[in-house]
Amino acid sequence: MTHIKEMGWNFDNSYARLPDSFYEKAAPVPVHSPELVTFNKALAETLGLNSDLLQTKEGVEVFAGNQVPAQSFPIAQAYAGHQFGHFTMLGDGRAVLLGEQITPSGKRYDVQLKGSGPTPFSRRGDGRATLGPMLREYIISESMHALGIPTNRSLAVITTGETVIRETPLPGAVLTRVADSHLRVGTFEYALRLGDREKLQTLADFAIARHFPELEQEQYKERYLTLFEEVVKRQAELIANWQLVGFIHGVMNTDNMTISGETIDYGPCAFMDEYHPSTVFSSIDVQGRYAYQNQPAIGQWNLARFAESLVPLIHDKPDQAVELAQEILGKYEHWYQHHWLKGMRKKLGIQNDEEHDEELVEDLLGIMKENRADYTNTFRALTLNKPEDITMAGAAEFKHWYERWQQRLERQEISKTSAYQLMKEVNPSIIPRNHRVEEALEAAVDKDDYSVMKKLLDVLSNPYAYSQEQEEYTTLPAPSRLPYRTYCGT
Query: How far apart (Å, rounded) are the C-alpha atoms in residues 27 and 44?
Result: 23
Residue 315 falls in which region: left (phi positive, over 0), alpha (psi -120 to 50) or beta:
beta
- Annotation marks residue 255 as catalytic: yes
Contact 248, 271 (CB under 8 A): yes
CB atoms within 10 A of CB 425: 10
Residue partners of 347: CB distance under 8 A and separation at least 6: 244, 379, 423, 426, 427
Beta bridge partners of 248: 270
**CA-based nearest residue to 176, from 138, 148, 150:** 138
Beta bridge partners of 128: 116
CB atoms within 10 A of CB 330: 11
Query: How far apart (Å, rounded) are the C-alpha atoms in residues 476 and 329?
Result: 39
**Candidate list 92, 180, 255, 285, residue with the active-site label:** 255
**CA-based nearest residue to 263, from 347, 357, 141, 350:** 141
**Measured CA angle at 133 (ends 248, 178), to 5 deg:** 80
**Residues identified as active-site:** 255
